[in-house]
Chain A
Amino acid sequence: MIRFEQVSKTYDGQQRAALRDVSLEVEKGEFAFLVGASGSGKSTFLRLILREHRATRGRVFVAGRELNRLPSWRVPSLRRDIGTVFQDFRLLPGKTVHENVAFAMQVIGRSRKDINAKVPETLELVGLEGKGKRMPEELSGGEQQRVAVARAVVNGPKILIADEPTGNLDPATSVGIMKLLDRINRSGTTVLMATHDSTIVDQMRKRVIELDEGRVVRDQSKGVYGYQ
C-alpha cells in the first residue's frame, strides 16, 4: 500500500538530508507505528506520502501511484485515498460536529443524500452518536479527536495517517483513541501512526519503524517503543 524505494529528501536550502536512503513497505491492512525523536524525519516521511513534498531521490508508491510522476492535478485523487488525523485536531470552529464531518464529503462533491446517510453512521462508529449538533468547543479533547477521526474516515480511505494523534490527550483518553484506530484498522484500512507515546506502542504490539537522523534504524514486527 505504501512503498519507499531508496528515498532521500533534502529540503531546499538545507545541507542535511531529512530522509536518507529509506526503503520499506507497508502492506495493505497493516498497522505500523513510526517512532523517533523530533527531527528524525517522521514528519517528512508522512509529507512524502501525502505528496505535500516530492522525494529528492528514490521512488514513493502510495495506493498504486508513483508519486514522483504524479501530476499536481492528480494529487486530490491521491488524497481521497488517504485519511489524515493530527495532534491539534484541526476542526472548523464555526461548524457543528456533523458539519465538520460532512464538510469532507461536500468538498469532494458527494451528494446530500450520501452525506446524510454516511455522517451519522460514521459518528456512531467513532462513539459520538447523538453529538452531531454540538460545536467542537463544547467537546472534550478526546471527543474532538474522535470527530477528526470521523472526518478522516468518512470518505472510506484506503490509508489512515495519524500524526501524534494522542499528543494532546491524557493517557486514559489516548487508550480510547487507540482502540478506535485499531477498530478502523481491523475493518481493512492501513494505518500509519507517528508517535512519541511509548506506553501506547508497548501496549499495542504492532509493527514499529524507528527513524533516526533520517535513516530507518529499526523495523520490527510486534515491537515496542525502545530497544529491549
Chain B
Amino acid sequence: MRYRHILSETWSGLRRNLTMTLAVIVTMWVSLTLFGAGLLAYQQVGLMKGRWYDKVEISVFLCGTVSPASETCTGGQDATDAQKQVIEQTLRSNPEVAQVYFESKQEAFAEFQRAYADSPLLDTLTTEDMQESFRIKLVNPEEYEGVVGQVAGLPGVQAVQDLREYLDPLFSWMNLIQVGTVTASGLLLLAAALQIGNTIRLTAFARRREIGIMRLVGASNLYIMLPFLFEAVISAALGILLACGTLAAGVYFIIIQKAQVSLKAFEWIGWPHAGLAMVGVAVVGLALAIIPTLITTRKYLRV
C-alpha cells in the first residue's frame, strides 16, 4: 500500500511535468555525454604520455643492432660498455641534469609488448632488436639545448630526442578538448540541477494541499520526499543511459573502428576505459539528481 502510493505519486508527477521531465532528461543526456567525453580524453592523454612523459624531458637512444652506421655508431652493433660509461658520466656531471634513468633492452621490449599488444609487428621483433636508452630529467626543462649538444656527438649515441617536442602540440589539443568538454558539461549539469530544483518547486506547489495534509497527519519526511526523489532519479537514470549509449557509440565508431585502425603508433582507449567513464557519468548524474532534490525538498517541504 505504502509503496503503491509512492509509486503512483511518482508516476503522476512525471506525467504532470512531462515537458520539464523531458527537458531534464535531454540536458542530462547532453551534459553527461560531454562529461564522459572529457573523462575519455583524460584517459587518452594518460595513455599517450606513456611511462616517461611526466618523468623525463630528454631521451638518449644508444646504438643498437638495428642502428645504421653513422658518425657515432658502428652499424649493427650495440654501444660498448665503455661508451655507455662515458655517456653516463657526461650526463651525471652536468649540473642541468636532475636525474638519469637507464632503460635496458628488456625494459624497452616489455614496454613495446604492452604498447603493441595486438600488432603483428610483435612477432617479428625480439629483445635484441630493442634500443637501450638514457632517460634524463632536467633541473629546468627549458634548458635542454646544452645537454642535447653535449651528448649528441658522443660515440655510442644514435639519437637524442625531446619527447615533448612532438607530443606537446597533440597534448595541447587534447587538453583543449578536456577543458572544453568539462566546462561545457559543468554548465549544462548546473542547468540540469536547476531544472530539477524547479520541477520540484512546481510539483510541490501543485501538490501543496496533499503535502499539507500529509504533514498534518504525521507522514514521515522521507515518505513525503520519496516521490520527488524517485522522479528526479528516474529522469537522471534515463539521461545516464542515453549518455552511456552515446559514449559507447563514440568509442566504437571513432576509436575502435577509425583511430585504432589508422593510427596504430599510439595506444588508444578501449572498452575498459569507456566503462570507467560510464561509471563516472552514472555517479555524477545520480549525485546531480539527488543533491538538488534533497536541498529543494528541504526548502519546500519543511515540517
Partners in one complex: yes
Q: Which residues of A are at the interface with B, using a C-beta cutoff of 8 A?
A: 50-51, 72-73, 75-84, 90, 92-93, 103-104, 106-112, 115, 151, 155
**B213 lies within 8 A of A103 (CB):** yes
A107 to B224, CA, bound (A): 8
A111 near B217 with CB under 8 A, answer: no
Question: Are B223 and A80 in contact, CB atoms less than 8 angstroms apart?
Answer: no
Interchain nearest-CB distance for B40 vs A (Å): 43
Number of CB contacts from chain A to chain B under 8 A: 63
Contact A151 B217 (CB under 8 A): yes
Who on chain B is nearest to A52 by CB? B303
With both chains docked as a complex, state the minimum distance between the C-beta of B206 and any C-beta of chain A, in angstroms.
11
Q: Quick check: A76 and B219 within 8 Å, CB to CB?
A: yes
B295 within 8 A of A: no
Chain A neighbourhood of B212, CB < 8 A: 90
Q: Does B51 contact A (CB under 8 A)?
A: no
B216 within 8 A of A: yes
Q: Which B residues are within 8 Å of any A CB, using their own CB?
A: 1-2, 5, 209-210, 212-221, 223-224, 303
22 residue pairs of the A-B complex, CB under 8 angstroms, read: A50-B216, A51-B303, A72-B303, A76-B215, A76-B220, A76-B221, A79-B217, A80-B217, A81-B218, A83-B217, A90-B209, A106-B2, A107-B213, A107-B217, A107-B219, A107-B224, A108-B218, A109-B2, A110-B1, A112-B1, A115-B1, A151-B217
Among A77, A83, A109: residue with most chain B CB under 10 A: A109
- Contact residue among B5, B209, B303 (Cβ-Cβ distance under 8 Å from A107): B5
Q: Chain B contacts of A82 at CB under 8 A? A: 218
CB-based contact B1/A106 at 8 Å:
yes
Once A75-B303, A92-B209, A112-B1 are accepted as A-B contacts, the answer to whether A107 and B221 lie under 8 Å apart by CB is no
Report Cα–Cα, A78/B215, bound state, in Å: 11
Q: Using Cβ atoms and an 8 Å threshold, which residues of chain B touch A79?
A: 215-218
A104/B303 in contact, CB under 8 A: no
- How far is A110 from B221 in the complex, measured between Cα atoms in Å? 16
Selected from B209, B213, B223, the residue in CB contact (under 8 A) with A104 is: B213
* A104→B215 CA distance, assembly (Å): 10
- In the complex the two chains form, is B223's CB within 8 Å of A107's CB? yes
Q: Name the A residues within 8 Å of B219 (CB-CB).
A: 76, 107-108
Docked Cα-Cα span, A79 to B224, in Å, equals: 14
Known: A106-B5, A107-B5. A76 touches B209 (CB 8 A): no
Contact A78 B223 (CB under 8 A): no
Which residues of A sit under 8 angstroms from B221, Cβ to Cβ? 72-73, 76
Could you say which residues of chain A place their CB within 8 Å of the CB of B2? 106, 109
CB neighbours of A108 from chain B (8 A): 217-220, 223
Closest 4 CB pairs of A and B: A79-B218, A80-B218, A107-B219, A76-B218
Closest to B207 in A: A92
How distant is the Cα of A47 from the Cα of B67 in the complex, in angstroms?
91
Q: State the CA gap A106–B9 with chains docked (Å).
A: 12
Of listed A72, A83, A104, A110, residue having the most chain B CB within 10 A:
A104
Which residues in A have their C-beta under 8 angstroms from that of B1?
106, 109-112, 115
